[in-house]
Amino acid sequence: MSTTSPFSFLESLATRFQPPAWVVDEAQQRLVLLVNHVVMQEKEAQDRLTRKKGNVIHVRWGVLAIDLRITPAGLFERVLRSVDQAIKPDLLVSVAADSPLAVVQSVLAGKPPPVKIEGDVQLAAELGWLAENLRWDVEEDLSRMLGDIPAHVLADAGRKLVASLKQFVAMRPGGQAASTAVTPMAAPAADAAKASK
């Protein structure tokens, strides 16, 4: 019986594939917009980031890297190394797993991916708080665009997909047993009650 992962071809392709510069640029712009959208939904997150305004965070995962500066508004802006070559990051965050599948398995198992952090300890603590407390309320955003019922149906389908992926990862040889509880994509009930006030 073969012990080779059915995803080994995709893993090798992902490690060798270098996307064009314009794709990387557009993806990074969209990522910064999404992160800022999530941060803007939580006043405490912006307040925490405002205290670290001007600090630069360098995030790296394999060949992919991005530099983010914290703005005075408590949001993130992308720093282009080609424009600002003298940039010195205050914090270096590196995803230690080279394999995209390993990162997905870790996330689906409810664990953060293995990360190496170097630099400003206070800034790292603030980012840790953001990682633990910020949640993107996908269902709420969808309801603004599509209405409540279609948003609920799509979010429910997403939750079921995540549960299925967790189950698949848990059943794979060498896969870690994932929790059977479904991680909600929407904000917890307490946040929903707070938003209705």
Q: 107-143 pLDDT, tens per residue?
A: 666 677 778 889 888 998 898 888 888 777 766 766 7
May I ask the CATH architecture of the domain 8-133? Answer: 2-Layer Sandwich (3.30)
Inter-residue contact 60 to 93 (CB < 8 Å): yes
Surface-to-core class of residue 57, CB atoms within 10 Å of its CB (0-12 exposed, 13-18 middle, 19+ buried) = buried
Give the DSSP letter of residue 188: P
Residue 24 has what pLDDT? 83
- pLDDT at residue 38, as a whole number: 87
| Residue type at 186 in one-letter notation | A
Q: Which residues, given as ranges, of the chain have pLDDT below 70? A: 1-17, 82-85, 97-101, 104-105, 107-110, 138-139, 141-142, 151-152, 162, 165-197
Predicted pLDDT at 70: 94
Rg of the chain over all Cα atoms, to the nearest angstrom: 19
Q: Which residues pair with 65 in a beta bridge?
A: 60
Distances in whole angstroms, Cα of residue 71 to Cα of each of 51, 141, 142, 151, 193: 10, 24, 27, 32, 30
Q: How many residues does the chain have?
A: 197
Q: Which two tokens stand for residue 61?
A: 């995962």
pLDDT, position 78: 92
- Specify the pLDDT at position 20: 83
pLDDT confidence of residue 115: 81
The pLDDT value given to residue 56:
93
d(C-alpha 196, C-alpha 27), whole Å: 33
Long-range contacts made by residues 180-188, C-beta under 8 angstroms, separation at least 24?
Answer: 183/110, 184/159, 185/136, 185/137, 185/138, 185/139, 185/155, 185/158, 185/159, 186/135, 186/137, 186/138, 186/139, 186/140, 186/155, 187/135, 187/137, 187/140, 188/135
pLDDT of residue 196: 42
Spell out the domain ranges in the chain: 8-133, 138-196
